[in-house]
Amino acid sequence: MIDWISIPLVGLPLVSSLVLLAFVANADGSTRERLGSTIRMVSLVISLAMLALTTMMFFAQSQSLMYEALGLDKALDWTGLGFGSFNFEFRYMWIEALGIHWSVGVDALSFPMVWLTTFLLPVTIVATWNEKYAATYFPLILMMGGALIGVFVALDLFMFYVFWELTLIPMFFLILKWGGKDRKYASQKFFIYTFTASVVMLLGLVTLYFLQPDQALSYSGSWTGRTFDIPTLTAHAQQGNADGAWFLGESMQKILFVMLMLGFLVKLPSVPFHTWLPDAHVQAPTGGSMLLAGVMLKMGAYGMFRLPLAFFPHAAEHFQFWLLALGMISLVWGAIVCLGQTNLKKMVAYSSVSHMGVILIGIATMQPLGWAAALFMMFAHGIISPMLFAVCGAFKHHYHSMEIGAMRGMAQHSPWLATSMMFAWMASLGLPLLAGFVAELMMFLALWHFLAANDWSVLWMVGPALVLALTAAYYLWSMQRTIFEGGKETQPPATLHGEPVPDIADSEKFAMIIMAVFTILFGVMPWIALDMMNGWTVGFFETLLIPILGGA
């Protein structure tokens, strides 16, 4: 097997972005302008090559042409891969003394996220084709992509943490340089919130590291005698948790679970740690928002599946109520706050909080169906929310305002934007046959099943039911005020200063169509992604959770 991950998917975007940035570092303004379009083209080509590679990886499960091109003897089996085994697993020594490896691999948990990242990179680049300061903007987008993929493919805690923090830097600059009026405040808040949570997580990880037996596990450091290797740690934790015993003891497991979850809940974000998100989104440029909502938030959920849920299932069961409650509060609170927003982008940002609540509820049900729902939600939201933000970006770009109602009768003035907005809004509120619907439906079923099986009160269903109505309300209301009301008799917004009302550019149209096509594709044929997610979840439950926690 050839290491298709380290160099083409992680190294290439990171190194090429640094090279491109170094290239323009000391160039003066006019030179940069000239180089801008070349750099944009180079970035697009690199991101398309990455997309081609991950798409080949997907088709390598059936097409001999694809797996032979990847240098494989037989087809990859994403669905049957299950839990605990990885495709393209590679391990290189990094810091021997501490047992740190450059260790990569993808399984059915991380592969959809990796594909999603490579899908969003070219889409983002195309959607924000005319962004200013192109010479530095597009390399930062590439760097962001490389760091995100690094998080998803890392199988070593140190490497995971390095990439986890590395994602902050390009995003900080994207918000700071291309953001809105309060970008200074927003970028700092974003950085400090997530950094604070992740250093607490780091302390938890280090404590976990030293709670392993000395020299007993594979890939141990020559000096510390402990390992950072995630599969090894998972297997070790699995043994410790067997037969009803608590790995590391009850109180220690609970505290470590909380410390790790803190880092992930802030990133997700869940109420009450969500306040950085609306600020960051409203101020971030369109491309930044697309990647932030599309992939970066999913890092939180991904981290939960990869680390605390796998290491500390007893603690997860213990805190089940709190997870469910947090998810429910995020879901409901996000939706209620959406109703009160007058800023289009802020509304979309809070709807993200609401949707992340769905993921948390899915996790909290501790049901295979709920987990599959969470995984599919991560994926579907990763396609839909960038479209929402692309619409917001186009709105802002063309009407110089984000206020709902600043532009009325959009269907009349700019039909392309109106259509895209309508489609994205419908997808986000969960219209059947679109990707979001599948995830929400699965979550409902899982929650019903969970409540019935454990004799929990049916009142828990009130929240999601209420949110269905609320989501429809705020989306339809904002659509009505923006797209339909007014029409011929209304004037274009005052912020345009009497210029003719524009419609979105061709590159934006193209990006919207692509995202819409994939939203429909995964809505009509969800099994493309759902099969492998299901395979991973069932594997997780069969090999790890059921033997430890019992039940079905």
Partner 1 sequence: METMQAFDDGFATALAPEIVLVIGMFTLMIAPNLGDAKFRIPLTQIRIPWFFGGKRGALESDPRMPGLFASVFFVLAFLLAALSYVNGMNVTMIQSEGGHDLLLVNEFSRIFELIFYGALALASIASINRIPATSRNDRSALGLYNNRRQVDFYILLMTTGLGMSIVALAQDLFLLFIGLELASFSTYVLVSFMKETKEGTEAGMKYFIVGSVASGVGLYGLSLLYLWSGSLQFTELTIAFAENGMEPLPLIALGMLLVGFGFKVSAAPFHFAAPDAYAGATSPVAGVLATASKAMGVIGLLRILLVVASPEATDGAAVWLVALAVLSVVTMTWGNLAALGSTNPKRMLAYSSVAHAGYMLAAITAIGALNWEPEHLNVSNDAALAVVTALIFHLVVLVCFKLGAFLVLSILESEKGGHTLASLGGLAKREPFLAATMFIFMMSLAGVPPLSGFVSKLLVIMGIVKVALVDVTVSGNLTFSDVHWVWYLALLMVINSAISVFYYLRVGLVMFFHEPEAGREGPLPQGKSVRLAIFACLLTTLYFGVGAGQLIALCESAANALVGAW
Binding residues for partner 1 (CB under 8 A):
21, 25-26, 94-98, 161-162, 165-166, 168-169, 172-173, 176-177, 183-184, 187-188, 191-192, 195-196, 199-200, 202-203, 206-207, 209-213, 223-224, 240, 245-252, 254-255
Q: How far apart are CA 302 and CA 533, in angstroms?
A: 12
CB closer to partner 1, 251 vs 491: 251
Which token pair is 51? 């997309």
Taking the complex as a whole, the smallest distance from the CB of residue 434 to partner 1 amounts, in Å, to 38
Q: Please, what is the end-to-end C-alpha distance for the chain in angstroms?
A: 36
CA distance 136 to 36: 8
Tokens of 250: 């009850």
| Min separation Cβ 166 and partner 1, Å | 6
| Minimum distance from residue 210 beta carbon to partner 1 (Å) | 5
Question: Which of 68-85 are b and which e, b meaning 16 or more Cβ less than 10 Å from the residue's Cβ?
Answer: eebebeeebbbbebbbbe
One-letter amino acid of 174: L
Q: How near is the Cβ of 97 to partner 1 at its closest, in Å? A: 5
Q: Which is nearer to partner 1, 94 or 477 (CB)?
A: 94
Instruction: CB nearer to partner 1: give 252 or 521.
Output: 252
Q: Which is nearer to partner 1, 285 or 382 (CB)?
A: 285
Minimum distance of partner 1 from residue 258's CB (angstroms): 11
Of the two residues 162 and 451, which places its CB atom closer to partner 1 in the complex?
A: 162
Nearer to partner 1, 211 or 325 (CB): 211
Contact 163, 130 (CB under 8 A): no
Q: Minimal distance in Å, beta carbon 94 to partner 1?
A: 7
Taking the least distance from each CB to partner 1, the nearer of 254 and 449 is 254
Beta carbon of residue 164, minimum distance to partner 1 (angstroms, whole number): 8
CB closer to partner 1 out of 24 and 329 = 24
Closer to partner 1 by Cβ: residue 26 or 457: 26
Minimum CB distance to partner 1, residue 339 (Å): 33
In 3D, which of 219, 241, 233, 272 has the Cα closest to residue 96? 219
The DSSP code sequence of 425-449 is HHHHTT-TTSHHHHHHHHHHHHHHH
The nearer residue to partner 1, 255 or 546, going by C-beta atoms, is 255
Tally the residues of the chain.
552
**Which residue, 151, 171, 172, is CA-closest to 161?**
151
Please write down the HEC assignment for all residues of 197-261.
HHHHHHHHHHHHHHCCCCCCCCCCCCCCCCCCEHHHHHHHHHHHHHHHCCCCCHHHHHHHHHHHH
Closest CA to 167 of 142, 189, 188: 142
Nearest approach, Cβ of 245 to partner 1 (angstroms)? 4
281 Cβ contact partners less than 8 Å away, ≥ 6 residues apart: 289, 292, 293, 345, 346, 348, 349, 352, 389
The least distance separating partner 1 from the CB of residue 32, rounded to whole angstroms, comes to 10
**Secondary structure in 3-state letters for 67-128:** HHHCCCCCCCCCHHHCCCCCEEEEEEEEEHHHCEEEEEEECCCHHHHHHHHHHHHHHHHHHC
Sign of CA dihedral 373, 376, 380, 383: positive
